[in-house]
């Protein structure tokens, strides 16, 4: 599998432990990346649209949530893709350490 783009990777990471709506994803990506990665609304929602089409994430409904917004959660395929990417990154870091880079 090709490496994930930063937008896709961060979006999947933001949904790893719970379903979230778009605004919460934007906030969490900023927090998880310690401000190094900002996902604007254009990037966010075009990526969401693509990942829903790919069946990597899916919208879910929960009563009591802000009705203007939809929650998204990882599908099995999305979780597998995220795990594969984390594995790939881990192997790269291991190689870099062996080479004395990090």
Q: Which residues form the interface with another protein (CB under 8 A)?
A: 5-7, 21-23, 26-27, 30, 36-43, 45-50, 61-64, 66-70
CB of 27 to another protein, least distance (A): 6
Decide if 80 contacts 57 (C-beta within 8 A). Answer: no
CB of 58 to another protein, least distance (A): 13
CB of 7 to another protein, least distance (A): 5
Within the chain, residue ranges assigned H as helices are 6-14, 22-32, 41-53, 76-98
Q: Given the complex with another protein, which of 38 and 97 has the nearer CB atom? A: 38
Q: Given the complex with another protein, which of 53 and 98 has the nearer CB atom? A: 53
CB of 54 to another protein, least distance (A): 14
What's the CA dihedral at 61, 39, 75, 4 to 10 degrees? 170
Q: Given the complex with another protein, which of 47 and 74 has the nearer CB atom? A: 47
Gyration radius of the chain's alpha carbons: 15
Q: Given the complex with another protein, which of 64 and 100 has the nearer CB atom? A: 64
Stated length of the chain: 102
| CB within 8 Å of 51: residues ≥ 6 apart | 8, 11, 12, 57, 78
């Amino acid at each position: 599998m090709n490496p994930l783009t930063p937008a896709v990777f961060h979006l999947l990471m933001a949904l790893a432990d719970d379903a979230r709506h778009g605004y919460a994803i934007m906030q969490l990506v900023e927090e998880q990346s310690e401000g190094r990665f900002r996902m604007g609304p254009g990037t966010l929602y075009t990526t969401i649209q693509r990942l829903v089409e790919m069946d990597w994430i899916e919208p879910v409904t929960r009563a009591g949530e802000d009705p203007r917004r939809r929650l998204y959660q990882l599908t099995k395929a999305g979780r597998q893709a995220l795990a594969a990417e984390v594995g790939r990154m881990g192997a790269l870091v291991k190689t870099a350490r062996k080479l004395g880079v990090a």
